[in-house]
Amino acid sequence: MNHTKENPSYVDPLVDEVRNVRKAISEMFDHDVDKLCDYFQHIEQQHQERVVKLGQGLLASDGEEVREEFDGQN
């Protein structure tokens, strides 16, 4: 059952949790998307080994290539 006009009292705890986390993150950065992006770029620079660049191909834990490139589509 979904939250609809017919059933406005329906509560989904998972949706509420996601919304609460989203609100908390937004508050951490004064609701400023530029500050959030600056933070992500800072973390990205600190952890270059975790960054996957488009077109590089992905490797499985055994080193085998999973796919050659990612184009943003499934």
Domain-located, residue 63: yes
Domain-located, residue 29: yes
Domain encompassing residue 62: 13-67
How many domains does the structure of the chain reveal? 1
Domain-located, residue 44: yes
- 26-51: pLDDT as tens digits: 999 999 999 999 999 999 999 988 88
Domain-located, residue 3: no
The model carries a pTM of 0.54
56/69 Cα distance (integer angstroms): 6
- Residue 50's SS3 state is helix
Average per-residue pLDDT in the chain?
80
Domain-located, residue 8: no
